[in-house]
């Protein structure tokens, strides 16, 4: 007899997560005159989320499937995603365009509160219950033709006066909870890097970082975060922002951009004031070296800002050397240096496991699903990030999802099968649907080969 299909846990499984998100969407500010509203804000946001949950490469394909030509998808959007009515793509764009992307924060927060409640976050905790938060920026849109009033603009050097030949772009700063030993990540928040209302100046990662840190501190006052970032963040104003909001940090330092800091380290090394040690792995012959130094001034401008420094290097049998340096607010000791090194190196997970996954593993980040005149591009980017969070929560904690995932080597294949299942079988609830996604062969019908996937 086959093993029983695992059961859903409400805070980490698709039906519960979608109910949580829907409740948060019900609170999103809707500025339309309610008497003339045909489609609700929540239905429009849930439809947008469904596009990314189902990994549709375009709004048009979603629309074709969701509208009357595909009654199966329309049915499933109602039963599985809880839509009362399914807006067409142009209606959805029009409804979502004026929504401020910060309105999506409630949905991220609601999911993370659920994870806290079910004690799931303990799997991601380090250093006495703290969470590693990797923060980095990525491009989400770029065009020489399409633009909105929030686009940042890069003008060609030869033509600074008009928009001719200009590149319009949006970027996004993402904050993602990571763990050195876990392959999944948990997106926590995002901040669009776009021009503010009425501004003619480009936004930048540093300003967006300031807004994001303040927002995170206000939303999660009781969480202990250790922020991990690249060398761009190793500057006085940014460290002051982190300290002001009581966040710890482990940030990459580079001799090129932190020259004074490295000079001080050299001096202290000459004076024998660094703690340094090496170990050799007997099996691989890999030499690992550590140097630590406490209370070093960040630079000549911010001498009052004292940071702790960790250098780590590896030399293999062939003599090939790699080294890394970080500055940190944490006290670094021979006992915790390895753990801090691993935490610092987990920073790349926001690039590899998050942005690259979102660009290459079915989420189509960077494709334009519609730009809009106000916020549409950023709202759709936020919904994509939210769909990614929901998938990662399931992959991290949901046993039902785990049973399906194990059957698919690549995520791309997993999502193709999901979309095929969604357009094939009318489902009344998630458990039955996920059984079909898991093993369609166990059901009494087959997927027609001419059905679009
Ligand atoms: Zn724009």
Give distance in angstroms: CA of 150 to centre of ligand 1: 5
Give distance in angstroms: CA of 4 to centre of ligand 1: 49
Count of residues making up the chain: 453
- What is the Cα–Cα distance from 123 to 9, expressed in whole angstroms? 16
Give distance in angstroms: CA of 366 to centre of ligand 1: 13
Give distance in angstroms: CA of 153 to centre of ligand 1: 9
Note the CATH number of domain 105-357.
3.90.350.10
Using an 8 Å Cβ cutoff, are 24 and 110 in contact? Answer: yes
Give distance in angstroms: CA of 149 to centre of ligand 1: 6
Provide the token pair at 98.
């004026």
Provide the token pair at 438.
């898991």
In order along its 453 residues, the chain shows pLDDT tens digits of 455 566 888 899 999 999 999 999 999 988 887 767 889 999 999 999 999 999 988 888 888 888 765 688 889 999 999 999 889 889 999 999 999 999 999 999 999 999 999 999 999 999 889 999 999 988 888 888 888 888 989 988 766 666 677 899 899 999 999 999 998 999 999 999 989 888 889 988 899 999 999 999 999 999 999 999 999 999 999 999 999 999 999 999 999 989 999 999 999 999 988 999 999 999 999 999 999 999 999 988 888 899 999 999 999 999 999 999 999 999 999 999 999 999 999 888 777 777 777 776 777 666 677 888 999 999 999 999 999 999 999 999 998 899 888 888 788 888 888 988 898 888 999 988 988 888 766 654 444 444 444
Provide the token pair at 267.
């001096």
Q: Which residue has the tokens 């006085």?
A: 236
Q: Where are the domains of the chain?
A: 14-104+370-442, 105-357
Give distance in angstroms: CA of 370 to centre of ligand 1: 10
- What is the Cα–Cα distance from 313 to 211, expressed in whole angstroms? 34
Provide the token pair at 332.
């670094």
């Amino acid at each position: 007899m086959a093993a029983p299909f695992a059961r859903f846990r409400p805070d980490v499984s698709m039906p519960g997560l979608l109910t949580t998100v829907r409740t948060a969407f019900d609170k999103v500010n809707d500025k339309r005159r309610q008497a003339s509203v045909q489609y609700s804000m929540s239905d429009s946001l849930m439809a947008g989320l469904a596009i990314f949950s189902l990994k549709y490469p375009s709004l048009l394909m979603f629309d074709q499937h969701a509208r009357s030509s595909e009654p199966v998808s329309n049915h499933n959007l109602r039963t599985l995603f809880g839509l009362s009515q399914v807006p067409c793509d142009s209606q959805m764009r029009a409804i979502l365009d004026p929504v401020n992307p910060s309105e999506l924060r409630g949905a991220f927060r609601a999911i993370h509160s659920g994870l806290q409640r079910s004690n799931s976050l303990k799997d991601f905790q380090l250093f006495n219950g703290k969470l590693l938060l990797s923060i980095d920026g990525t491009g989400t849109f770029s065009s020489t033709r399409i633009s909105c009033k929030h686009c940042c603009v890069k003008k060609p050097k030869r033509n600074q006066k008009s928009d001719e030949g200009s590149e319009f772009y949006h970027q996004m700063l993402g904050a993602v909870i990571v763990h050195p030993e876990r392959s999944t990540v948990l997106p926590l928040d995002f901040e669009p890097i776009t021009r503010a209302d009425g501004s003619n100046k480009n936004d930048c990662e540093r300003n967006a970082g300031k807004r994001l840190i303040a927002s995170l501190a206000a939303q999660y006052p009781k969480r202990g975060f250790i922020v991990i970032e690249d060398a761009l963040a190793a500057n006085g104003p940014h460290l002051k922002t982190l300290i002001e909001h009581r966040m710890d940090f482990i940030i990459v330092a580079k001799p090129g951009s932190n020259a004074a800091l490295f000079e001080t380290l050299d001096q202290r090394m000459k004076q024998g004031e660094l703690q340094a040690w090496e170990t050799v792995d007997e099996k691989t012959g890999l030499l690992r070296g550590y140097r630590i130094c406490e209370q070093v001034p960040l630079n000549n401008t911010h001498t009052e800002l004292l940071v702790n420094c960790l250098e780590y290097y590896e030399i293999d049998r062939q003599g090939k050397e790699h080294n890394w340096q970080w500055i940190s607010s944490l006290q670094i000791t021979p006992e915790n240096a390895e753990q801090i090194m691993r935490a610092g190196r987990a920073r790349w997970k926001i690039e590899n496991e998050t942005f690259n996954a979102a660009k290459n593993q079915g989420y189509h980040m960077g494709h334009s699903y519609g730009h809009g005149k106000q916020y549409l591009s950023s709202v759709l980017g936020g919904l994509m990030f939210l769909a990614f969070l929901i998938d990662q929560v399931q992959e991290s904690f949901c046993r039902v999802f785990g049973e399906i995932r194990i059957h698919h080597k690549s995520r791309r294949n997993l999502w193709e099968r999901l979309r095929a299942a969604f357009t094939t079988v009318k489902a009344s609830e998630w458990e039955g649907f996920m059984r079909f996604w898991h093993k369609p062969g166990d059901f009494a019908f087959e997927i027609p080969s001419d059905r679009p996937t």
